[in-house]
C-alpha cells in the first residue's frame, strides 16, 4: 500500500496559480532539452574513451558505437513513454517506482545515482588534468577545485542559466569538432592514415573481429550516451513535459549517436593503427596534432575544456534532481534533500553535495575506474526503464500494443542487459556491492520492507 503526498497549488486573489513552496519552475522548451541532453552527452565524448575503446574493439569503434546506439535509441523510446505517464523529476527511479514497485524503484535510483554522481566527478578529473598539463605551475588539486566550483556556481543560480550556458558551449564545441573532422578528411584524402575516405574497416575488420570484443567496446561506448536520460530529470521544469521530454530524449540520442559514429569512422581512417598511440588517454589529441598541427591541437584542447564544463553542468543538475525526487518521496531525509532555494528555484543543498563529492573523488579516483562505474549505473537504470514500459503499459494498463509496449522495450531490455554483463568483472563486482549496500539501507529504513512507501503525486503537470 502506497501513501501519497500531494503538491497543492494556492490561488491568488485574481485566480492565478501560485507555485507551492518547494516546487520547481517550468521554464524549459524542447530545444533547451535537446541541447541539454547533447551537452550532457557532449559532442566531444569520443575523446574520453577513443584510445581504450579502439584497442578493445580492434579498431572497430564505429561499429561498437552503432551497436550501442541501437540499444540507446530503444531505451530513449522507453524513457519517452514513461515520461509521458509520469512527468516528474527522478528519471529511472521515478518510472520504476511507479510502474514496477517502489522498493525496486529505490534500488534503480540507487544504482543510477552512480551514473549521475560520477559525471561531474569525471569532468572534474579530466578538466583538472587537462589544465595541469597546459599550466603545470598550478597544481592539479587547485585546478580540480576551480573546475568544480565553476560548475557548482552556474547550477546553483538556476536551471535557465545552466541551459543557456550549455547552449553556448555546445555550439562552440560542435564547430571545433567539425573543423577537426575536416582536417582529418583532408589528411586522409592526401594519402595519410588509411588513405581511403570510404572503407568498411572502421566497422568490420575480419582480422580483428570478435563479437565479445565488439560488445565490450559497445558497453564502454555507452559512456558517451550517458546524458540523454538526464533530460527526464528536468520534467518538473519543462513546459508540456508529457510531449517534450520523450521527443527530446530520442532526438538527443539520435543526433549524438550519429555524430559519435561519424567521428569514430573519420578518426579511425586518419589513424587506423591504434597500437601506435603514445598514450591511450590522449589518443584524440595525438590525432589532432598529426592532422592539423599545434593550432588544431590547441583548439581541440579548448573544446575539451568546454565539454568538461557543459557535461559537468548537466550531470550535476541531473544528480541533484534525482536526489530531490528521492528526498521528496522520503527515501532519504526530505527536509534537506527536497529543499528548493526560494530565489533560484534549484535544489541547492544537493548541488553543494555533488560539488563536494566531485572535489574529494577527483583527489583519489582514477579516470578509467570512474568511466567503468558510470556505465554500470547507466545500464542498470536503462534495463529497468525498458522493463517499466512492459510492466506499466502492457501488463498493468493492458494496452496491447505489442510492438510499442512489448517488443521494442523488450529488445531494449535484452540489449542493455547484454551490454551490462559485458562490462569488466571488476566493475560488476564493485557495482553490485554498491547495489547490495542500497538494499541493506532500504531494508533498515523500511523496517524489513514493512514500512509503507511514499509516492509523490502532482495535481497539475500541464501548467
Cell matching residue 214: 565488439
Helix (H, G, I), strand (E, B) or coil at 331: coil
Give the dihedral of Cα atoms 83, 351, 27, 232; nearest 10 deg: -10
Number of neighbours of residue 302 by Cβ within 10 angstroms: 14
Helix (H, G, I), strand (E, B) or coil at 110: helix
- Three-point CA angle 244, 249, 253, nearest 5°: 145
Q: What confidence tens digit (pLDDT) does each residue in 268-310 have?
A: 999 888 788 877 777 877 888 889 888 888 888 788 888 887 7
Per residue, what are the HEC states of 119-164? HHHHHHHHHHHHHHHHCCCCCHHHHHHHHHHHHHHHHHCCHHHHHH
Contacts of 263 (CB under 8 A, 6+ apart): 46, 177, 181
Q: What confidence tens digit (pLDDT) does each residue in 335-368 have?
A: 888 888 777 777 888 888 888 888 888 888 877 7
> pLDDT at residue 458 above 70?
no
> pLDDT at residue 14 above 80?
no
DSSP per-residue string spanning 189-213: HTT-TTS-SS-STTT--TTT--HHH
The domains located in the chain, with CATH, are: 23-458 (1.20.1740.10)
In contact, 174 and 43? CB cutoff 8 Å: yes
* Confidence at residue 1, expressed as pLDDT on a 0 to 100 scale: 35
> pLDDT at residue 244 above 90?
no
In contact, 203 and 62? CB cutoff 8 Å: yes
In contact, 193 and 272? CB cutoff 8 Å: yes
Give CA–CA dist 89/245, Å, rounded. Answer: 11
- Over range 452-456, report the average pLDDT: 51
Per residue, what are the HEC states of 341-381? CCCCCCCHHHHHHHHHHHHHHHHHCCHHHHHHHHHHHHHHH
Q: What confidence tens digit (pLDDT) does each residue in 173-230 have?
A: 888 889 999 999 999 999 988 888 888 888 888 777 888 889 988 988 888 887 777 6
> pLDDT at residue 410 above 90?
yes
* Cα distances (angstroms) measured from residue 42 to each of 286, 287, 453: 20, 19, 36
Contacts of 81 (CB under 8 A, 6+ apart): 246, 389, 393, 404, 405, 409
- Over range 17-29, report the average pLDDT: 56
Contacts of 356 (CB under 8 A, 6+ apart): none
* Confidence at residue 452, expressed as pLDDT on a 0 to 100 scale: 60
> Which of 54-63, 212-221, 440-449 comes out lowest in average pLDDT?
440-449
Rg, C-alpha atoms of the chain: 22
Q: Does an H or E element contain 312, and which? A: helix 283-328
Amino acid at each position: 500500500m502506497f501513501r501519497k503526498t500531494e503538491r497543492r497549488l494556492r490561488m491568488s486573489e485574481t485566480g492565478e496559480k501560485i507555485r507551492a513552496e518547494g516546487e520547481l519552475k517550468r521554464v524549459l522548451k524542447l530545444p533547451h532539452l535537446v541541447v541539454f541532453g547533447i551537452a550532457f552527452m557532449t559532442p566531444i565524448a569520443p575523446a574520453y574513451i577513443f584510445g581504450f575503446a579502439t584497442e578493445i574493439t580492434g579498431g572497430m569503434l564505429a561499429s561498437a558505437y552503432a551497436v550501442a546506439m541501437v540499444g540507446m535509441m530503444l531505451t530513449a523510446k522507453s524513457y519517452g513513454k514513461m515520461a509521458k505517464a509520469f512527468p516528474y523529476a527522478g528519471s529511472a527511479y521515478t518510472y520504476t517506482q511507479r510502474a514496477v514497485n517502489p522498493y525496486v524503484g529505490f534500488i534503480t535510483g540507487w544504482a543510477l545515482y552512480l551514473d549521475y554522481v560520477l559525471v561531474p566527478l569525471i569532468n572534474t578529473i579530466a578538466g583538472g588534468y587537462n589544465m595541469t598539463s597546459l599550466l603545470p605551475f598550478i597544481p592539479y588539486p587547485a585546478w580540480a577545485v576551480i573546475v568544480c566550483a565553476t560548475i557548482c556556481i552556474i547550477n546553483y543560480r538556476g536551471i535557465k542559466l545552466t541551459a543557456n550556458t550549455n547552449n553556448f558551449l555546445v555550439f562552440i564545441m560542435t564547430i571545433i569538432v567539425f573543423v577537426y573532422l575536416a582536417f582529418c578528411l583532408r589528411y586522409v584524402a592526401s594519402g595519410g592514415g588509411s588513405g581511403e575516405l570510404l572503407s568498411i574497416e572502421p566497422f568490420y575488420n575480419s582480422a580483428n573481429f570478435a563479437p565479445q570484443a565488439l560488445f565490450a567496446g559497445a558497453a564502454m561506448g555507452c559512456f558517451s550516451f550517458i546524458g540523454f536520460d538526464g533530460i527526464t530529470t528536468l520534467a518538473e521544469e519543462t513546459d508540456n513535459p508529457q510531449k517534450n521530454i520523450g521527443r527530446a530524449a530520442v532526438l538527443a540520442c539520435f543526433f549524438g549517436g550519429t555524430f559519435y559514429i561519424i567521428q569514430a569512422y573519420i578518426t579511425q581512417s586518419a589513424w587506423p593503427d591504434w597500437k601506435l598511440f603514445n598514450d591511450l588517454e590522449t589518443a584524440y589529441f595525438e590525432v589532432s596534432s598529426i592532422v592539423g598541427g599545434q593550432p588544431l591541437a590547441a583548439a581541440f584542447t579548448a573544446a575539451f575544456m568546454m565539454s568538461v564544463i557543459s557535461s559537468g553542468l548537466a550531470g550535476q543538475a541531473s544528480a541533484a534532481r534525482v536526489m530531490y525526487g528521492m528526498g521528496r518521496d522520503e527515501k532519504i531525509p526530505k527536509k534537506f534533500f527536497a529543499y528548493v532555494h526560494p530565489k533560484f528555484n534549484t535544489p541547492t543543498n544537493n548541488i553543494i553535495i555533488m560539488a563536494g563529492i566531485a572535489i574529494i573523488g577527483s583527489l583519489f579516483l582514477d579516470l578509467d575506474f570512474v568511466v567503468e562505474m558510470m556505465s554500470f549505473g547507466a545500464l542498470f537504470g536503462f534495463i529497468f526503464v525498458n522493463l517499466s514500459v512492459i510492466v506499466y503499459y502492457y501488463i498493468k494498463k493492458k494496452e496491447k500494443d505489442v510492438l510499442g509496449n512489448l517488443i521494442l522495450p523488450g529488445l531494449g531490455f535484452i540489449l542493455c542487459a547484454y551490454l551490462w554483463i559485458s562490462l569488466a568483472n571488476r566493475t560488476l563486482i564493485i557495482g553490485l556491492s554498491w547495489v547490495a549496500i542500497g538494499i541493506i539501507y532500504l531494508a533498515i529504513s523500511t523496517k524489513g520492507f514493512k514500512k509503507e512507501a511514499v509516492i509523490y503525486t502532482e495535481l497539475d503537470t500541464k501548467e
